[in-house]
Amino acid sequence: MAEELQGLLKRIHEEGLSKAEQEKKDIIAAAEGEAEKILAEAKTKAEAMIKAAKEETDNYTAKGKAALEQASRDILVQLKNEMIKRIEKIVKTTLKDAMNPEFMKEIISTMAEKYLQADPKAELSLHVLVAAKDLEKLENLLKGSLSASFKSDPKIFSRHDIDSGLKVSFDGADAFFDFSDDAFAELICAYAGPRFAEYFTNQS
């Protein structure tokens, strides 16, 4: 009887140890499985965060590059406009020095002579618009030398919008010519503008 009891106790002990060992293995396996699951989720989240961060960086990089390119274009446009303004200023300053009453009188005389050579019977009427500062002197020069060329005395008026140069109208020939500072500046800038535009386009 004592031996049977001893055998029973031994079997219970062994079964208990075996069960405990199995439970231990089950717990470890479950823990390992849970750990792998957590690691997999963490890896997935990390990859997603890295991808999002890269996309955000690329987006900022693209925006930064586009902003720099736009700023570069804006600077070139400003530079082109500034250069055209300076050319316009130089033209007007130069014209103001060159277009004195004596030179303007030569322009008008030459034009009238050419028209009368082409049509000796033409009855020309001259109208001239000039800056106020040139009105009196040009009027004296023209009336003293060209009156015989026209059917009536040349009519000369001042215009506040003309700083230098003149505008000429030959009524008998239906012709109008603009030799004002604005006209010359516009003409030269129209010539130079596209060349500046082409140059600055190549730089952008």
3-class DSSP assignment, residue 145: helix
- Span 87-138, pLDDT tens digits: 777 777 877 778 888 888 888 888 878 777 777 676 777 788 999 999 999 8
pLDDT, position 21: 54
Q: For 15-29, 36-50, 122-136, 143-157, which range has the lowest pLDDT when averaged over its residues? A: 15-29
In a domain, residue 135? The reply is yes
Residue 14 confidence (pLDDT) above 80: no
Asked if the structure places residue 88 within a domain, the reply is: no
Residue 110 lies in a domain: yes
Segment 170-200, tens digit of pLDDT: 775 667 888 888 887 777 777 766 665 565 5
Q: Residue 107 falls within a domain, yes or no?
A: yes
Task: Give CA angle at 163 (161, 164), nearest 5°.
Answer: 125
Give the Cα separation of 144 and 101 in Å (integer): 13
115 neighbors 122 (Cβ within 8 angstroms): yes
Q: Which two tokens stand for residue 111?
A: 């034009």
